[in-house]
Amino acid sequence: MTGAPDAPFRLADRAARERAEEQLAPAATRAVATRGRARPEPDDPLRTAFERDRDRILHAKAFRRLKHKTQVFLNPDGDHFVTRLTHTLQVNQVARSLARALGLNESLAEAIALGHDVGHSPFGHIGEDAFDPYVEGGWHHAAQGVRIVEVLEDLNLTWEVRDGIRAHSWKISPPPATREAECVRYADRIGYLSHDALDAARAGVIRAGDLPARALAVFGQPGSEMVGAMIDAVVAGSLAPGSTSVVMAPDALEAMHELRDFMFARVYASDVAAGQKHVAVDVIRRLVDHHLAHPELMPATYRDTEAPVLTQVVDYVSGMTDRFALTTYDRLFDADASAQMRPLLGER
């Protein structure tokens, strides 16, 4: 059923969308060529395999919790600072823009982007560090994200989306297998460098003019100007003769590295961003230790009962939002962690 020639609508079902993917660039990942799911499923009549994955992630509990998880600044006092959820939506926009410009599979890039941070702990990367002593080899949010979609929520995603979530961080090896996941890697870095610089300037941690002169000359001011220039640089680098992967043009990449070094030195390690680190680490580790001693306190709805108790506890505590971790800590220990985690970041 496609509708009459003069009908106001035309059915664009899965088969039509898969045919449209034949026009994508040679490097694109076609839904019909997916390596599949852990459990085979009948095809959806309307959506491609990657579109189904996107929708499953959007409806996942772990995705909804991102709205109350820290991006960089702990417990900010202001409505406009970036959260883990708004960061994810920004990464999604950039990844889709890159994929569309390069003739790649936009639906696959979108699914990976929406799922890339579902494994993040409360209190951002500070929380991530707090779990390291409990996990051999250290704890990483990307691996936890894969565990969430494969085990704790069992979304039965395609291999390509799970691989993209696994390797969205630049420190993970081996790198992702698809060019769409490479788009997400760049989108993640483009998103956080730009919006974290905006947040830091808004709070008075830095001034926009403090950013490296080379980065300002190449990318412009943080915000839409910088995001657009970075997208253009990735498109240019990827389309350059001899390129076989998604890359940023060399000069722009050097400017991005300089900007990232500046952000780590002046923003991420600042007293405002990390000034309450001891509170966050204490909250997480005491919650882990307490639930190890009292595993019956964990809800049955979010437990992999076949895993060791330590794994179950780390699953539970790492899945908490910032505010739930603080209120649980205060209730269990008759403490005032919520008050200690007073906002250090005020909007100016």
**pLDDT per residue as tens digits for the range 131-190:** 999 999 999 999 999 999 999 999 999 999 999 999 999 999 999 999 999 999 999 999
- Which distant-in-sequence residues (6+ apart) come within 8 Å of 158 by Cβ? 34, 35, 36, 37, 49, 50, 53
pLDDT (0 to 100) of residue 71: 76
> Is 0.85 surpassed by the pTM of this model?
yes
Q: What is the pLDDT of residue 344?
A: 43
Within 10 A of 231 (CB to CB), how many other CB atoms are there? Answer: 21
- In which region does residue 13 sit, left (phi positive, over 0), alpha (psi from -120 to 50) or beta (all else)? beta
List beta partners, residue 77. Answer: 346
Please check whether residue 31 is in contact with residue 107, taking contact to mean a CB–CB distance below 8 angstroms. yes
For the record, the structure tokens of 320 come out as 């908490």
Residue 335: what pLDDT?
80
pLDDT at 272 (0 to 100): 66
Confidence (pLDDT) at 77: 59
184 token code pair: 């997400």
pLDDT for 89? 97
Extract the residue ranges of the chain whose pLDDT is less than 50.
344-348
**pLDDT for residue 330:** 93
Residue 317 Cα to chain centre, angstroms: 19
The Cα 107–Cα 128 span in angstroms is 29
Contact present, 103 and 239 (Cβ < 8 Å): no
Mean of all residue pLDDT scores within the chain: 92
